[in-house]
Structure 1
Amino acid sequence: MQHRPFPVRPAASQPTFPLAATALAVALLSISSGAQAFELDTGNPDLTLRWDNTLRYNYASRVEERDSKIGNSAVSDEGTYSFNKGQAVANRVDLLSEIDLTWKKRYGARVSGAGWYDDAYSSVSHTNPNPPLTNIPSYIGKRYSDYTQRYYHGPSGELLDAFVFGGVDLGEVPVNVKLGRHSLYWGESLFLAGNLNSVAYAQNPLDLQKGFATPGVEAKELFRPLNQLSFQSQVTDTLSIAGQYMLEWDSFRYPEGGTYLGPVDFAFNGPDRQFISQALGFARRGDPSEPKQRGEGGLSARWSPAWLDGTMGFYWRNFADKLPQTFLTQVGPGTSRYNLIYADNINLYGISLAKNIGGISFGSELSYRQNTPLNSTVLGISPGLPTPGDTKGPRGDTYHGLINAVGVINKTPLFDTATWAAELVWSQWAKVRSGGNLFFAEGFAPCVGKDKWDGCTTKNYLGAGLAFTPTWFQVFPGVDLSMPMTYAVGLSGNAATIFGGNQGNGNYSVGLGVDVQQKYRFDLKYIDYLGKYRSTNGTAVTSQNGFTTLLKDRGFVSLTFKTTF
């Protein structure tokens, strides 16, 4: 992948991830005993062993008043009532630990993991105190489920990277192979919105829980590794090929309902239920219908002929989606159930171009998804789940494109240097293959009497993301100051794919960053969300253009400290 000055494009060989509880305990003991980052002396110049740890503390406080119409909606009240203005929405410690073992710089292994604890959350969910909504919480007994407690409160952790790698020469062609839990990232997308419309879509499950809390975060920071076999080979000086075969499947990690950044109360894996109506009562969350664990795969080629002065990429992938459609099933009189359904057997074909022009690094992609899930209503189907990987919801074909640029501005009277990035994203639905009666789009039955501001899909979607960071060096001895700013918004239309983007829906952040001796990092940041909803009854949200619109009253200030040792 061609190097670009900012953001650093993700290298497939160097993902970073989190840690299991036992390893977390060992690492914390090491911290308390004064251990520091080091490269162990193995006594053999061909063998290197490195252990790095990153400790992060985050304190965040809500600074925006609650929107009463969001708070009066039965599907979104618990998220906005989870914390009041002025309360801490995060009081969290994270530890990332990484171990790399390398033999002759060609063979080795990598293990990484993370642990966390957040004192802002407890076992009790903070629900709407106002009747009648206080009597229909999405968590039974108004207590967070074990799933939500683990990922929000903790203490907990998880093993992520765990793979071995090695290289062989087939004649004069070098081939590098990895086996185990790791991530690959193909293509040229930079930001989260770009990734959701890129050739790398669903190549890795993403941590959207982190992405929602940190607008502008680079896609590479959100990767969750999967067990797989992958290879990369430099066939000629100008041509390389790569491939992967998945041995594991997992979904995106989402902001859970009833938490501060959970847009809707019933989603996704944490809440127990959702109140439907007096006649139907509660719909209980059922087990998700997941695709088979093995079988996803893909091939890519990167070609850099001298005449191009750049790099072209070609891609094919067959994969299972990692974002769900939702089914509502009536399983008996007054008894309903909803399930997350993940579709498989999606084909993606793509092409990319990366090129440096006038000191600015440009990237672009065009891709076509075949048989991909499309936006739908909450589906009503007969009792019983579809077979794993099958969905009776709308599926069809979509086009996706993006173009981005990254660069550096040299010293000016206003700052010593600045980095910037911009990305424009486009998508279009081309064909509905099945389930058209449930396609939530203009011109289809579910959107009769509605328009795009009710969330209806349009033929085309256009969105943009921006990042700008001026920097001042040595404002004090050993101290550098920066001001990172990000803005992302849907410019026109609503995408046909899940989380693909909605007009007027987005987020922004502005902050100050302080680097001390290039070892300690402090960030103070304000984060907020954008969107448009309708309230036909004047008291509660009755429709919205994208579920993340329901976060538009969650503005918060975040202070983060991070150090690597």
Structure 2
Amino acid sequence: MTDTPRNKTSRMSRLSLLSIAVTALTASPAQAFTFSSGDLQGSLDTTISYGARWRVQDRDQSIIGKANGGTANSVNGDDGNLNYDKGLVANVLKITPELELRYKNYGAFFRGYYFYDFEVMGNDTARTPLSEAAKDQVGEKGELLDAYVWGSWDVNNKPLDVRLGNQVINWGESTFIQGGMSSINPVNVNSLRVPGAELREAIKPVPRIWASLGATDKVSVEGFYQTNWKKTIIDPVGSYFSTSDLAGDGAEKVVLGFGSYPD
């Protein structure tokens, strides 16, 4: 069976309603650690959070393939549903450090991201084991996000700002209206699934050079050049929010037969 976008959205909504995400502890420093030496200034801000998620309802048989005990006409989208019984499904410690440096009219910014899910890494799933690629997305992940340098100058009494490195460029609000310039920024959907997630952890920086020149007191001209491309990352097969066994890390095969044959 071919899933339409509407069907996929409906299945995602129903699966999402089966869980309650509780952030047990979110610790954010009231004030960043700052330091200075002459013209050099810096700050280090680290956010540490702990969160958990529980599944509180039984599986919906209408989105489980017939051969797997349900009533759906496809077995190509139920691994995530079958893998988790009622109870704890996520138990996550997350750390997001940010370092900012300034020297006169120059500066640098770095943001890291790390999380560890004790439930995913310490216990087996109920049915289909998660692949190593899937665990890299939902079990334990550490990465350097933003990492860029910047400078500010006056050119003929006009402000010029330049950034170079891994960065996110926000041009317009396009959270609910697709197709805007912010679509150039790839997203890791799995980062949004982590209890206590923040948007800054999910939007992935890309190597770019960006510049802004003030044309008048009220008008500026901006532009960027991107040296690389990164894809948007979806839920891996078999993870709690996964609604497709055909796409995402861990995908292997398509099973035909209108749900009559197990995967």
TM-score range, shorter chain: 0.7 to 0.9
Q: 1:219 to 1:180 in 2, by over 3 A?
A: same
Deviation at 1:201, TM superposition (A): 4.4
Match of 2:212 in 1: 232
Letter in 2 for 1:253: I
Cα 1:222–1:149 change in 2 (3 A) is closer
In the other structure, the counterpart of 1:152 is 138
Aligned to 2:247: 267
Alignment correspondent of 1:182: 167
Within the candidate set 31, 35, 41, 1:40 is matched to 35
1:63 is displaced (CA, Å) by: 1.1
Match of 2:150 in 1: 165
- For residues 514-533 of structure 1, the aligned pairs below 5 Å read none
- Count of matched residue positions in the alignment of Structure 1 and Structure 2: 223
Q: What 5-or-longer segments of structure 1 have no aligned partner?
A: 1-35, 129-141, 279-536, 541-565
Higher RCO (CA-CA < 8 Å; seq separation 6+): 2
- Alpha-carbon deviation of 1:37? 4.2
* C-alpha deviation, 1:122, in angstroms: 3.2
Q: List aligned pairs for 1:505-544, cutoff 5 A.
A: none
**What CA deviation, in whole Å up to 9, does each residue of 1:512-556 have, x standing for no partner?**
xxxxxxxxxxxxxxxxxxxxxxxxx8x89xxxxxxxxxxxxxxxx
In structure 2, the CA distance between the partners of 1:70 and 1:125, relative to structure 1 (3 Å rule), is farther
Higher helix share: 2
Are residues 221 and 144 of structure 1, via their aligned partners in 2, closer, same or farther at CA, if it must alter by over 3 Å? closer
Residue 74 of structure 1 pairs with residue 64 of structure 2: no
Note the 1:61-460 alignment, pairs <5 A: 61-72=54-65, 73-85=74-86, 87-104=87-104, 106-122=105-121, 126=125, 128=127, 142-154=128-140, 156-189=141-174, 191=175, 193-194=176-177, 197-211=178-192, 222-268=202-248, 270-277=249-256
CA contact (8 A) 1:123 1:143 kept: no
Distance 1:97 1:249, change over 3 A: same
Instruction: Report which stretch shifted further, 200-209 or 46-55.
Output: 200-209
Following the alignment from structure 2 to structure 1, what is the Cα–Cα distance between the partners of residues 57 and 173? 36
1:508 corresponds to: none
Alpha-carbon offset, residue 214 of structure 1: 7.2
Aligned to 2:50: 57
Give the letter aligned to residue 54 of structure 2.
S
**Residue 71 (structure 1) shift:** 2.0
Point out 4+ residue stretches in structure 1 off by more than 4 angstroms.
212-215, 217-221
CA RMSD of aligned residues (A): 2.7
- Where does structure 2 lack aligned partners over 5 or more consecutive residues? 1-30, 66-73
Distance 1:219 1:56, change over 3 A: closer
SS at match of 1:202: helix
The letter of the residue matching 2:235 is P
Alignment partner, residue 463 of structure 1 = none
Measure, in 2, the Cα distance between the counterparts of 1:111 and 1:201: 21
In 2, Cα distance between the equivalents of 1:211 and 1:114? 13
- Cα distance in 1 for residues equivalent to 2:145 and 2:198: 18
CA contact (8 A) 2:167 2:205 kept: yes
Q: CA deviation at 1:225?
A: 0.4
2:238 partner SS: coil
Cα distance between partner residues in 2 of 1:123 and 1:90: 11
Counting aligned pairs with the same residue, the percent is: 28
Query: In structure 2, do the counterparts of structure 1 residues 116 and 145 end up closer, same or farther at CA, with 3 Å as the change threshold?
Result: same
CA distance 1:110–1:210, change in 2 (3 Å): same
Report Cα offsets for 1:271-312 as digits up to 9, x if no partner.
14023338xxxxxxxxxxxxxxxxxxxxxxxxxxxxxxxxxx
When Rg is computed on C-alpha atoms for both structures, the one with the higher figure is 1
CA contact (8 A) 1:205 1:251 kept: yes
Aligned counterpart, 1:134: none
- C-alpha distance 220-187 of structure 1, shift in aligned 2 (>3 A): farther
